[in-house]
Chains A and B, each alone.
Chain A
Amino acid sequence: MILEINHLKKSFSNLEVLKDISLSVEVGEVVSIIGSSGSGKSTLLRCINLLENYESGTILFNSQDINSNKQKVNQYRAQVGMIFQSFNLFSHLNVLENCVIGQVKVLHRKRKDAVVIAMDYLAKVGMLEFAKKSVMTLSGGQKQRVAIARTLCMDPQVLLFDEPTSALDPEMVGEVLQVIQNLAKEHRTMIIVSHEMSFAKEVSDRIIFMDQGYIVESGTPEQIFVNPVEARTKEFLARFIQ
């Protein structure tokens, strides 16, 4: 059990976004979270990465409470990589430097080694030839692939994808999903928030359906997509299939 979330609650002022979330993730497991906008999926990911504070509940990472030691929060974050909907590449750095900066500043790798690792992951996402380019010259799909490489360079134990293809033009979605699929084949531990239902079905070991701050249903892709039990799941999927 690499990640264990117990009775997590989170509100924004008086709006309760996460009501009682419990979830555990095994090493090498690919979990997709689906649900309509406002169901709390992204907030859950952001809580796992501690970009948001939560009011109650615990998140255990390798059996350690991630909030127990404030000094180690930054180290923890480096081990849990986050990929954002809007890429968030550092716009003052070129592609290669985007992948190097975290390694040098956080992991204290030698620059020479960091460059080798960065080149390796850029090759893996098919962006090696763009290493010296400014990030502004890239398309959305290319930016997201660089963002994935940047995160992989930190050797994270868990990857969190927050709607990685939602800001992309339709023709660029495929190239990003392909990269994520390759990572799934390597049995990396991943939690993916996505609206790409067929992709989630194909790539995931487990699907979680969230609605109004609760986990309504969870199971294998077959259980959720073919034989959903809960009425709300059926309703959500029916809307999506239309």
Chain B
Amino acid sequence: MYILSTSIPNDLFQAAYFIFMKYAPLFIFGAKNTLIIALSSTLIGLVIGLGVGIIKTLPISSSDPLIKRLFIRFIRLITSIYVEIFRGTPMMVQAVFIYYSLNGLFSSSRILAGIFIVSINTGAYMAEIIRSGIQSLDNGQNEAARSLGMSNFQTMVFVVLPQAIRNAFPAIGNEFVVNIKDTSVLTVIGISELFFQANSIAGSIYKFKETFFVAAAVYLFLTYSTTLVLKYIERKMNMTGYDGPSSSTTPLITAHFKGETS
């Protein structure tokens, strides 16, 4: 697919159009990989975040046996170390370190390696999102559930988490959008996502400005359409009767949630 750079128009937009038409399958292939990695990592990261976020909010009561208190403190320490390390270092560094540390483990599929890296990175951010989602709930919800006789586990699953996840949904969705952009760092371990594809195309035709203009447009298309879908889901969720914070000092917030179930 070698072409002379002289056959490419000089105008930026025309050139970008030309490049996109010429290399559409390569861009689409990259965009597909970007989406696959971003979506699976966000979902897996959410699962990790739920686990870690719940651990971080586990109550320690002075009436608990010493062993239980020590155990909770221990796993909390582990989760804190995990969260701090993965939030405190660049994902590009994590990608290179993990990929070469687990040399051979992902030899069959680089995409899997990418999903693995982005998932544990996202998990660290999700943990904080879920933790604050749980802690922002009024304790009365918890007490009401317990006073009906629900166990701690039932209270978490049927009362706390549904509300925490709904409250945190905008932040969770934002992680997905961030991941679409941040998967570009996986190019350093040779995963053929969108940035990697653009880089290869640009290198073969010596048109960096034009090619990355196309890449930017494709990224923007991906993130903007994702944002629209997320907003739609958010609106749907709010129609199933969110009460707003129970405090009466937030009338402006509750005014947004006027829907009702049918």
Residues of A within 8 A of B (CB): 49, 51, 53, 74-82, 84, 86-94, 101-102, 105-107, 132-137, 147, 150-151, 154
Q: A75-B149, A105-B150, A106-B150 are in contact. Are A53 and B243 (CB under 8 A)?
A: no
Query: Contact between B261 and A132 (Cβ–Cβ < 8 Å)?
Result: yes
Closest to A133 in B: B260
B147 and A134 within 8 A (CB) = no
Q: A102-B149, A105-B158 are in contact. Are A88 and B144 (CB under 8 A)?
A: yes
Given the contacts A91-B241, A136-B242, A74 and B149 also touching, CB distance less than 8 Å: yes
With A86-B246, A88-B138, A91-B163: A134-B63 Cβ-Cβ less than 8 Å = no
Q: Residues 135-158 of chain B: 1 if any A CB is under 8 Å from the residue's CB, otherwise 0?
A: 000101101111111110010001
A101 to B154, CA, bound (A): 10
Would A135 and B243 count as touching, CB distance under 8 A? yes
Which of the listed residues B61, B166, B246, B258 has the most CB atoms from chain A within 10 Å of its own CB?
B246
Residues of chain A within 8 A (CB-CB) of B257 are 136
Given A51-B147, A74-B150, A89-B144, also A136-B163 (CB < 8 A):
no
Cα separation A82 to B147 with both chains bound (whole Å)? 6
Within the assembled complex, what's the spacing in Å between the Cα atoms of A132 and B239?
A: 13
A88 and B260 contact, Cβ closer than 8 Å, known pairs A106-B148, A106-B149:
no
User: Main SS of the interface on chain A?
Assistant: mixed
For the complex, give the distance between the alpha carbons of A149 and B97 in Å: 58
Q: Enumerate 30 A-B pairs (CB-CB under 8 Å) in ascending A order.
A: A51-B143, A51-B146, A53-B61, A77-B147, A79-B149, A81-B147, A84-B143, A86-B138, A87-B246, A89-B243, A90-B163, A91-B163, A91-B242, A91-B243, A92-B162, A92-B166, A101-B148, A101-B158, A105-B158, A106-B149, A132-B260, A133-B260, A135-B241, A135-B243, A136-B241, A136-B242, A136-B260, A137-B258, A137-B260, A154-B149
Q: How far is the CB of B79 from chain A (nearest CB, A)?
A: 26
Q: In the assembled complex, which residues on chain A have CB atoms less than 8 Å from the CB atom of B61?
A: 53
Q: Which residues of A contact B149 (CB under 8 A)?
A: 74-79, 102, 106-107, 154
Q: List 8 additional contacts besides A106-B154, A151-B147; criterion CB under 8 Å.
A: A74-B151, A81-B148, A84-B140, A89-B144, A90-B163, A132-B260, A134-B241, A135-B243
The distance from the CB of A156 to the nearest CB of chain B, in whole angstroms, is 9
Contact of A92 among B63, B241, B260 (CB under 8 A): B241
Scan B107-150; emit 1 where CB is below 8 A from any A CB, else 0.
00000000000000000000000000000001011011111111
Distance from A234 Cβ to chain B, minimum over Cβ atoms (Å):
35
Q: How many A-B residue pairs have CB under 8 A?
A: 111
Q: Which residues of the other chain, B, contact A136 by a CB distance below 8 angstroms?
A: 241-244, 254, 257, 260
Contact of A91 with B260 in the complex, beta carbons under 8 Å? no
For residue A135, which residues in chain B have a CB less than 8 angstroms away from its CB? 241, 243
A208-B126 Cα distance, complex, nearest whole Å: 50
Cα separation A134 to B242 with both chains bound (whole Å): 7
CB proximity of B68 to chain A, nearest CB, Å: 12
Residues of B within 8 A of A94 (CB): 240-241, 260-261
Closest 4 CB pairs of A and B: A134-B241, A78-B149, A91-B243, A88-B144
Inter-subunit contact A88/B162 (CB<8 Å) = no
The answer, yes or no, to whether B159 is at the interface (CB within 8 Å) is yes
Asked if B7 is at the interface (CB within 8 A of a chain A CB), the reply is no
